Chain A
């Protein structure tokens, strides 16, 4: 792993030497190439986090991307990005096509993108991998859970998008409407979570469609918006033929959506060097599981408020308070074994996180971040939230403090 990482860093440094405007001419077209790689280290005082053995300190937190794009005409553009990551047990160095789009912009109020397109959801869903764009090493996990990135990150399909300038100095409206197919890696959070019960998914994905509307208000620096996403997700693989009876053997497994939707509301205010963000997300997932024998209704509500301040050209600081609650209700066969979990005051059903960060840009290509997290709860539910029983076999403690150090290189 370390050899691979070293090779990639050397490639990145070589590319950076090439010049900071990474452009080449191919077939009389200008082609831009950009990339990033980041490496993190996480230490926690209690509970292992994000599928890493963080109580011993873990450096299994690497991600990278490389893209090329070209403006074919003034209205038509093509591009693609390859992405790879290793986060504890997730990703496991299996590269994927992150996005690959053909984009035609008819006019400012109408454009279309087709291919594999990053999903617009809230302020940061589409850019959540691009660490160097923000101050925080980890985005608020109540709204942007990094172990569940695959669930929202992109769809194979298309977007219609555009922006309008409103009359009477009422600001600008931007919209995106999309539909496509979501395809999760089997090395993502949900397949990993349910592997603890002997279920191994070979495929997870389905229809994803929705829209986002954001308003740059007349008050300069104030943006507000709302997003909605509907999904129809099914998973296939293998699992125990009989619940709680491994001796009965392994057979085919499937699950599918009865309802799956996300509502997200957000606001951002920028004044001089200060930026304040606030977002609320509700995610409801009613999934028929265990080969149609049971039903699991997971209701996730998360919100955060964050503030970042640019002290100087290089130094930035930030802090956020993030609040996550989850309830689980059961139907069918599972309901006879498992009571509903609806009390969000229990640490099993919430995760409150206060984070503070200092970030420095060592130069235009290289940054370092140091972040502290002070977490209450571990929200060990039927849907992932960062704390997994597989790494916490001794049981969970109610509080966890974490230190995250991350460095990133981009060009």
Chain B
């Protein structure tokens, strides 16, 4: 019985694998690019939506942005499905509502990935989407981050604080509590002492200032506790 089922399972497994691979490919089928004049290296999903729904003209860091659409294609479909959860037809209707009530113009529409790259490279503040395999000459790629509150700033580089030998020998230890302000790029902007041994705190602050976190859409604060 077992042997007779094997031949039928194999094609099924292959089909499932192919389907899974296709779905995975579909999920990551779009790359966000921007003109080098855009200061940010990352953009949150919420910001991306607001930019393409014409609700804002600048990113959170103040960089002015101009959205560019594709007319059709796999990157176009993937972009609206992935970041808007809607078909483009619905977003197109939304654009027309704005156009016919005098509240906005439809963003620039381009015919291919190459045209988008060309336009974004030569238009100050332009932001667009292309297939991940397309060339990004003359443009910068933006990392798309989950919305604030839906993600945590993860620590990318950690520098351990120095524990002075004298204190170690005398078994003088304890905890130091710090409030760390992280820049959108991930570097530590400032460190505030919340409590703990002042001698240990000096070394803790010195170390934490060298830490690097994952990029975020805006400045954020975390509380850190270090034990000595």
Contact = CB atoms under 8 A, between A and B. Distances in A.
Secondary structure call for the A interface? strand
Contacts of A113: 102-103
A60 B101 CA distance: 24
Interface string A160-201: 000101001100101000000000000000000000000000
A36 B99 CA distance: 12
Interface string B99-113: 111111110110000
Interface in B70-103: 71, 85, 87, 89, 93, 96-97, 99-103
A137 to B, nearest CB: 16
A117 B58 CA distance: 25
B36 interface: no
Given A34-B99, A36-B100, A165-B46, A79 B57 contact: no
Interface in B157-184: none
B102 A79 contact: yes
A165 B217 CA distance: 13
A365 to B, nearest CB: 11
Interface in B113-140: 125
Contacts, number: 83
Contact of A107 (B50, B57, B71): B57
Given A107-B57, A108-B55, A32 B102 contact: no
Contacts of A410: 96
23 contacts: A30-B108, A36-B100, A67-B102, A69-B105, A77-B104, A77-B105, A103-B103, A108-B57, A113-B103, A118-B101, A126-B101, A127-B100, A127-B101, A130-B97, A130-B101, A132-B96, A133-B93, A133-B97, A165-B46, A169-B148, A172-B55, A313-B87, A313-B89
Given A69-B102, A108-B58, 18 more contacts: A21-B109, A32-B106, A36-B100, A67-B99, A71-B105, A77-B105, A79-B102, A101-B102, A105-B57, A108-B56, A130-B96, A130-B100, A132-B96, A133-B96, A133-B97, A168-B149, A169-B148, A169-B149
Minimum-distance CB pairs A-B, first 8: A108-B56, A99-B102, A130-B100, A126-B101, A169-B149, A118-B101, A21-B109, A101-B102
Interface of A: 20-21, 30, 32, 34, 36, 65, 67, 69-71, 74-75, 77, 79-81, 99-101, 103, 105, 107-108, 113, 117-118, 126-127, 129-130, 132-133, 163, 165, 168-169, 172, 174, 220, 313, 410
